[in-house]
Amino acid sequence: MGKFQGKVVLITGASRGIGAAIARAFAKEKAFVIVNYLQNKEAAEQVVSSCIELGGDAWAFQADVTSEQAVQGMIEQVLLEMGRIDVVVNNAFKPYIFNPDDRKMFWELKWEDYQSQLDGALRSTHYMCQAVLPAMKKQSQGSIINIISNLVERPIVPYHEYNTAKTALMGYSRNLAAELGPFGIRVNCVAPGLVYPTDASRFTKEDMKEMIIAQTPLRRIALPEDIAGPVLFLASDWSQFITGQTLIVDGGFVM
């Protein structure tokens, strides 16, 4: 019997990387997984196939989560088909390349750079949370998990616009947890360190990776799969009395 049998889990940006790993982990526990993606239909369909192979059920759904209309449409469709949404994982973000040598310095940044990251992290999460709220209130339960970054605790490289957006998302999540607690809805964050391999980290230099490994008590860099377990924990009844928290998943790096 899977831990998430009969549960409907929606993961944004789930066609690759961390999102895909989270989707597969939920499927393994028998969840019905909605694999949201922006453009790569083929990759999303592959994630769906692997979810089904792992014993869960899954469905790919294209929607630009920075569009309020697209998000409303997706949630309506899912509720029409499934009748419920138990877990939402806000994992989608505006593409960002983690390359210390190629980042914009603070004095080169325009406000638009911040705005595009805020749209990718905060605006998309806001639309998702507002859209699922009526269904979760009706169920008197739900778990929302927002993926942020351990950079909020230790900006080892000042990726200004990316980290400002993720820090804003942490504050947003805490306010939401305070507001939605009385309805039985929990809101938490998972903050990974550098995760490799993903599209965002493929340009991270070897010396940077080695420096992070040397400062990480568990002496390695996270794999996408390492992020899935903590997300499942926060989505499950094992964490039924946990809300407003940020779980840092980085092998002890920011400790």
User: Which stretch of DSSP H or E encloses residue 175?
Assistant: helix 160-180
Domains of the chain: 8-249 (3.40.50.720)
**Structure tokens, 166:** 């993720």
As beta bridge partners, residue 32 has: 8, 57
Contacts of 41 (CB under 8 A, 6+ apart): 60, 62
Q: Tens of pLDDT along the chain (255 residues)?
A: 679 999 999 999 999 999 999 999 999 999 999 999 999 999 999 999 999 999 999 999 999 999 999 999 999 999 999 999 999 999 998 888 888 888 999 999 999 999 999 999 999 999 999 999 999 999 999 999 999 999 999 999 999 999 999 999 999 999 999 999 999 999 999 999 999 888 888 888 889 899 999 999 999 999 999 999 999 999 999 999 999 999 999 999 999
* Whole-angstrom distance, CA of residue 51 vs CA of residue 138: 28
Given this model, what pLDDT does residue 100 score? 86
pLDDT on residue 136: 98
pLDDT at site 1: 66
pLDDT at residue 95, as a whole number: 86
User: Which residue in the list 37, 159, 162, 172 is annotated as catalytic?
Assistant: 162
Instruction: Note the pLDDT of residue 63.
Output: 98
Q: Which of 73, 89, 91 is nearest to 81 (CA)?
A: 73
User: Are 235 and 143 within 8 A, CB to CB?
Assistant: yes
Catalytic-residue membership of 96: no
